[in-house]
């Protein structure tokens, strides 16, 4: 049984740590800083870091790779379409890779960056999605277009309800404040905002989420909803918009929220 924990990094990043207690082997996802992983390994000297999974090239996701690889000899997996330091295996759409005895499928999700990938374990219902899908939000469009990001999010939203969303930032509270502005009458958003507020005040992280919860409370997965479209009409003027255009308007609104 694989155990998954979050190692905090920087001000709001999480490095996901996958642990196989039987083999005393572990893997990490997006180690932007080597120090939290080094500290964990130092506290568990009989464990071996076997794999480093990378979703995209931003420094807060790749900055610790080379130190960790030098320390452990871990295999580095990352997107084929981006420059990833120390990468041993380049991955693209449809590739499968075995990590700690678990087979992950690779999904290309351009938008935040052009080469961004996500790792999906269908049997365990795990999704490591970097900065594409956040709890109650989505990543900024640094390289891709709104159309690309909408398509990427739609692909992730089509996964099973119970899929656990392991994103890499603690943005949930601010994302929910935006979500309630978009859908002020959505009771599930109200309840989630109250819950996450209490969690954060208690020092508890808000992740992982689930796709069922995201589809109910994440405005960026809800551009087809009448209330969301009505809010965009109220802000930007009434017109007939595609779901992609509603998404683009939501992203532009959130950028200035």
- State pLDDT tens for residues 139-161: 999 999 999 999 999 999 999 99
Which one of the listed residues 30, 51, 131, 150 is annotated catalytic?
A: 131
Query: How open is the CA angle 64-67-68, to the nearest 5 degrees?
Result: 80
Question: What per-residue confidence (pLDDT) applies to 22?
Answer: 96
The yes-or-no answer on residue 150 being catalytic is no
Of the candidates 57, 116, 120, 169, the residue annotated as catalytic is 169
Specify the pLDDT at position 156. Answer: 98
Q: Which of 33, 56, 120, 150 is catalytic?
A: 56
Mean pLDDT of 197-201: 98
User: What element of type H or E holds 149?
Assistant: helix 146-157
> Can you say whether the dihedral through the CA atoms of 242, 243, 248, 254 is positive or negative?
positive
Strand partners, 169: 13
Task: Name 70's Cβ contacts closer than 8 Å, sequence gap at least 6.
Answer: none
Q: How confident is residue 14, by pLDDT bands cut at 50, 70 and 90? A: very high
Phi and psi for 110 in degrees, rounded to 5?
A: -65, 150
Catalytic residue among 30, 51, 58, 120: 58
Q: What pLDDT is stored for residue 142 in this prediction? A: 98
Q: Of 20, 30, 51, 61, which residue is the catalytic one?
A: 61
**Does the annotation mark 125 as catalytic?**
no
Q: Examine the residue annotation and report whether 112 is marked as an active-site residue of this protein.
A: yes
pLDDT at 135: 98
Say whether 131 is catalytic.
Answer: yes
Question: Of 8, 27, 2, which Cα lies nearest the Cα of 204?
Answer: 8
Phi, psi of 167, rounded to the nearest 5 degrees: -90, 180
Helix (H, G, I), strand (E, B) or coil at 246: helix
Is position 56 annotated as part of the catalytic site?
yes
d(CA 212, CA 157) in angstroms, rounded, equals 9
User: What tokens were used for 203?
Assistant: 């020092």
pLDDT of residue 122: 97
Contacts of 218 by beta carbon, 8 Å cutoff, 6+ apart: 133, 135, 136, 137, 138, 175, 179
pLDDT of amino acid 232: 97
- Active-site residue, selected from the candidate residues 30, 33, 60, 150: 60
**Backbone conformation region of residue 145, classed left if phi is above 0, alpha if psi is from -120 to 50, else beta:** beta
CATH topology assigned to domain 3-255 = Metallo-beta-lactamase; Chain A (3.60.15)
118, containing H or E segment? strand 117-121
Catalytic residue status for 61: yes
In this prediction, residues 18-25 reach a mean pLDDT of: 97
> CB under 8 Å to 12, separation ≥6 — which residues?
169, 170, 171
Compute the distance between CA of residue 184 and CA of residue 180 in angstroms, rounded to an integer. Answer: 5
Residue 84's pLDDT is 98
Which of 112, 116, 120, 150 is an active site residue?
A: 112
For residue 165, what pLDDT band results from cuts at 50, 70 and 90?
A: very high
| Active-site residue, 60 included | yes
- Look up the pTM and report it: 0.97
Each residue of 89-98: pLDDT tens digit?
A: 999 999 999 9
């Amino acid at each position: 049984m694989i155990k998954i924990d979050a190692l905090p990094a920087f001000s709001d990043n999480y490095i996901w740590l996958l642990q196989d207690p039987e083999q005393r082997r572990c893997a990490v996802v997006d180690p932007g800083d080597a120090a939290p992983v080094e500290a964990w390994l130092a506290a568990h000297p009989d464990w071996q870091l076997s794999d480093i999974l990378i979703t995209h090239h931003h420094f807060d996701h790749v900055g610790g790779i080379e130190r960790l690889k030098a320390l452990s000899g871990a295999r580095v997996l990352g997107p084929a379409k981006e420059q990833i330091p120390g990468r041993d295996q380049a991955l693209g759409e449809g590739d499968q890779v075995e990590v700690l005895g678990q087979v992950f499928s690779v999904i290309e999700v351009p938008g935040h960056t052009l080469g961004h990938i996500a790792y999906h374990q269908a049997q365990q219902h795990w999704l490591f999605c970097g900065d594409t899908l956040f709890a109650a939000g989505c990543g900024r469009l640094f390289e891709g277009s709104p159309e690309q990001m909408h398509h990427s999010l739609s692909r992730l939203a089509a996964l099973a309800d119970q899929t656990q969303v392991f994103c890499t930032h603690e943005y949930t509270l601010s994302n929910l404040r935006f979500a309630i502005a978009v859908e002020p009458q959505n009771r599930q958003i109200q309840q989630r905002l109250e819950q996450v507020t209490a969690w954060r005040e208690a020092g508890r992280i808000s992740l992982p989420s689930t796709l069922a919860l995201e589809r109910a409370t994440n405005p960026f997965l809800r551009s087809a909803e009448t209330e969301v479209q009505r809010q965009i009409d109220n802000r930007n003027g009434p017109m007939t918009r595609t779901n992609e255009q509603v998404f683009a308007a939501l992203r532009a609104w959130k950028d200035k929220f």
